[in-house]
Amino acid sequence: MLLETLHVMRDISRLHEITSVFIRYGWGDIARRLGVIGVLERAGRILNRGEADEIIHLEPAIRVRRAMEDLGPTFVKLGQVLATRVDMFPPEWIIEFEKLQSEVPPVPFEALLPQLISALGASPLEIFNEVQTTPVAAASIAQVHLAQLKDGTEVVLKIRRPDIEQKIEADLRILAHIAQLLESELPEARRYQPVQVVAEFSRSLRRELDLAREARNIDRFAHNFAADETVLIPKVYWEWTSAVMNVQQRIIGIPGNNLAAVSAAGLDQKILAACGADAVLKMILIDGYFHADPHPGNVFYLPGNRLAMLDFGMVGRLTHERRNQIVDLLASLARRNEQGMLDVLLEWTGNASVDDGKLAADVCELVVNYENVQLKDVRLSTLLQEITMIMREHSLVLPSDLTLLFKALVTLEGLGRQLDPEFHLITHLEPFVEQVIRERYTPSALWQRGLKDFSQFYGLVTGLPRDLGRLIREIRRGKFKIDLDLKRLDHFGQQIDRSANRLTMAILTASLVIGSSIVMTVEGGPTLFGLPLFGLIGFLLAFFNSVWIIFSIWRSNRH
């Protein structure tokens, strides 16, 4: 508790800055509902009224995107992650999140030297023949410099910005606190699971801060594509790689967004599109380890219709079970099997509450829409958008690994269509889907599944006497407990308690009315305004009781 308080005190200036931006972009009401009114007292002074009037007329998605840009690297990264959550946000929000760019002014090379000397044990100018002090690219977390090894090999130095870790950690603490407040204070925000989203984002961003982890990602992809001559993955030079810098082979080729140069070089764009599609689909369905952002800026085209992939800071991982679910979904669509698609979607929703009948009707409508469409004519990006729309309408949230996958597939299809207007990603999917399905029923796969099932069954049977013995010992010691988790039981009990209180007050009020009426007919005793005093007091108490009962009923009906 003390440590948390110290963190809050240390982050108070940053919290004030975040709150001020909230107000500037028209989210002051949310900030007040979150209980940070104390921070708001000075925030109004920094606002330009004319600018505020202009901003307040913008669409909410635009205001959120501009606020994230003003708040800096952590929030820009968060927006880029939210751009993958097509299951949570409608298309107009995704479009705005996708506009967020992490390009920032570069840090002077002199400011990078202290951490480089600490990581290398010597000045980089002593280790490398040459280091270009002007970066060729600069982003929110790292910037890229060209260099040359002592043997003349051209390399790329990806260097983390100094002190960025402390700034990001402060922002992540504040984001975690805001997410908890959103989930507890704003019921309409709970369907977006802010605590879970921020927790996943924090893990992802901390991994991205470790440039040695990116280097390990590169090595893994290089191993997976060692036998593929059409795909080049840069080599990592581990001797000089650390958490603050990684050293990679320099790839010289045509950037993926320079199609004019691709044509001038005589490269076949159809072959390049097919090569990229096959490479990413192999990552997803065969390896279960994929580049999560295969946009043109992360691809170079090489002579011989080859390609190189760069920037492996963001990668996705898929379990064998998840890959099978994806294959089952695509196979069900091809066979017009709506029940198969529904089964996969229900597996993805986990324990979420869902109207099975309504979900089944929506899936049936989706399948009917593709009934007369050949598989080769299906645009995967449109199909995925329709699936996520169904999920969103039912307030269902996709697992985080699938949101990255969906985003990667949509980006890949866009990249392919830039190279080849007739490109259809779904046609490249077919061979991989067929391969995965065939491998399920090979003798070795059937044998392995049988061994696994037998092992689980054997473990259950052999462990039964031990479990029964433990249960009997706990019963003898009086430690046996049964935990019942009955949802809303406390709320139900409170309702009964309030109803009983109102019933008691109603009986008491009725008794007062009857008793006072009898007293009013009895002569003698003290009077007020010519009427028996005790009768008047009884009627007065009955009146106030009646008002309380009516108000209590009215208030409960409003909740």
Count of beta carbons in the 10 Å neighbourhood of residue 346: 16
Taking Cα atoms as reference points, which of 416, 437, 438 lies closest to residue 427? 416
Q: How far is CA 175 from the centre of its chain?
A: 13
Taking Cα atoms as reference points, which of 269, 37, 470 lies closest to residue 277? 269
Annotated active-site residue in 293, 311, 328, 362: 293
Tokens of 2: 């003390």
Alpha-carbon distances of 2 from 7, 8, 203, rounded to whole Å: 9, 10, 24
Provide the β-strand partners of residue 229: none
- Residues with Cβ within 8 Å of 194's Cβ and at least 6 positions away in sequence, in order, are 178, 179, 182, 183
Tokens of 316: 């996705």
Taking Cα atoms as reference points, which of 13, 23, 31, 30 lies closest to residue 51? 23
Say which DSSP state 187 is in: G
Sign, CA torsion 41/45/47/48: positive
Sign, CA torsion 246/247/249/253: positive
Query: In angstroms, what is the C-alpha Rg of the chain?
Result: 32
Count of beta carbons in the 10 Å neighbourhood of residue 389: 16
How many whole angstroms separate alpha carbon 31 and alpha carbon 38? Answer: 10
Count of beta carbons in the 10 Å neighbourhood of residue 438: 10
CB 179 within 8 A of CB 202: no
Structural element, H or E, at residue 462: helix 443-476
Taking Cα atoms as reference points, which of 380, 387, 396 lies closest to residue 363? 387
Count of beta carbons in the 10 Å neighbourhood of residue 343: 15
- Any idea which residue has 């046996």 for tokens? 480
Work out the angle between the directed axes of helices 338-349 and 356-369 (0-180°, nearest 10): 130
| 163 catalytically annotated | no
Alpha-carbon distances of 453 from 437, 446, 450, rounded to whole Å: 20, 11, 5
- Residues with Cβ within 8 Å of 15's Cβ and at least 6 positions away in sequence, in order, are 8, 36, 39, 174
Provide the β-strand partners of residue 231: 307
CB 294 within 8 A of CB 280: yes
Work out the angle between the directed axes of helices 338-349 and 380-393 (0-180°, nearest 10): 60
Tokens of 194: 């802010």
CB 440 within 8 A of CB 450: no
The catalytic site residues sit at 293
